[in-house]
Amino acid sequence: MTGRLFGTDGVRGVAGRDLTAELAMDLSVAAAHVLGDAGAFESSVGRRGRPVAVVGRDPRASGEFLEAAVVAGLASSGVDVLRLGVLPTPAVAYLTSALGADLGVMLSASHNPAPDNGIKFFARGGFKLPDAVENDIERRLGEKWNRPVGAAVGRVRDAYGEADRYVSHVLTTVDGRLEGLRLVVDCAHGAAHMVAPEALLRAGATVETIGASPDGLNINEGVGSTHLDTLREAVAERGADAGIAYDGDADRCLAVTATGEVVDGDQIMAILALAMHEAGTLAKDTVVATIMSNLGFKIALRKAGLTMVETAVGDRYVLEAMKAGGYNFGGEQSGHVVMLDHATTGDGLLTSLHLLAEVSRSGRSLEELASVMTRLPQVLVNVRDVSKAKAATSKELASAVAEAESSLGDTGRVVIRPSGTEPMVRVMVEAESQDEAELIAGKLAEVVRTTCA
């Protein structure tokens, strides 16, 4: 791998080619030195001693050798390791905090196909790392160090039973029961295949599952939050009240109504924000969301007297803004929803429980609740092989954007966003009609092609 190793959500690549066992071990050694400096922390049993790490993974086949490499790197650095087994990313984040660990490690490539994998680290308390700490880990890759020997090496033990601690935690955050709700739950053949159905059953719902038979190679394959047609068909065939879809590591969820309509992250956030506002639990009556959230979401919040704070794309930026501003609720259109009163990161299972609890509490269908906001037509055009630097400085593009925004007025908007990983510029336009959005997006995309080549 070349360039900065850490992307917007940890280190990712094709396992065995980009993300090798050697790199996984080196990263865990460096992370141990940065996050788990022996003697600098109180241990999980309340005395000074060796730092403790928890390690979890999704069911990808490559997770098996990557887990072994990470565990070896941590233990050889003098870190005691608790292997959690296959669990969602938010479960690892929660257990990092609940078990008093000094760091957490999750092996997953989220919604990516099975050949990919990734490593993400959590600091003490279960929060993702800021850029500065990730940079520090990179700088310390391959450094010389004094290797512990004898009694100073870390010890490794299995802690698979801690999954129940996570399930019990998310259930305690929900008031009310889900009796009477018939659900189809799509686990993406991923990390939620055990804990999500169990939690929903314990909450009282009737649950049928799809995408709950991982074999190490089928994660996200035609199922999950990025392939909702499978869930839509299952909901219709089984006469369910709703469908819930997680991604591979279950840090996000989307939903499907009884009539097959998709309920995206913006709509889920709108439903939950209004419920929290009504209950008096929405901090500062504010929701944090990214610039890619639909304008209809912002309009729905404004009508309810709520404020929206916008951030760059990425749930880590949402979380940073929440912590900085003292807010407790935010997320992304993709289904990452952060409920900071209950979790330190996006949590698909937690989100789905609160969404379904609101369906049960209100006595209204998911479709009725989702109608609180109207999604404006949104068109996204990816303009490839252009200069991102020119896009940021082009006067011609700036003039074209200003003209488009003037014509849209308060009923639409334009977002020009360079890709974080590719030589590509994304053009997003929202308007009152699909035709208008497509027309303006097409014109702006052409300006990008001609001025930013």
Q: Which residues are catalytic?
A: 110
How would DSSP label each residue in 160-188? GGGHHHHHHHHHHT--S--TT-EEEEE-T
The contacts found for 433-439 with CB under 8 angstroms, 24 or more apart, are 433/377, 434/377, 434/379, 436/377, 436/408, 436/412, 437/376, 437/377, 437/378, 437/379, 437/412, 438/379
337 phi and psi angles, rounded to 5 deg: -125, 125
How many other CB atoms are there within 10 angstroms of residue 342's CB atom?
19
Q: Which two tokens stand for residue 34?
A: 């940065």
Contact indicator for 231, 184 with CB cutoff of 8 Å: yes
Compute CA 309 distance to the chain's CA centroid, rounded to the nearest angstrom: 19
Looking at 189-301, which runs of residues are DSSP E strands?
206-210, 242-246, 253-257, 262-263, 286-290
Pairwise CA distance, residues 111 & 224, whole Å: 8
> 85 near 92, Cβ under 8 Å?
no
**Tokens 């009477």 -> residue:** 180
Cα(111)–Cα(90) distance, rounded to whole angstroms? 15
DSSP 273-308: HHHHHHHT-SGGGEEEEETTS-HHHHHHHHHTT-EE
Give how far Cα 207 sits from Cα of 178, 181, 200, 402, Å.
11, 8, 7, 50
Q: What are phi and psi of 266, to 5 degrees?
A: -60, -45
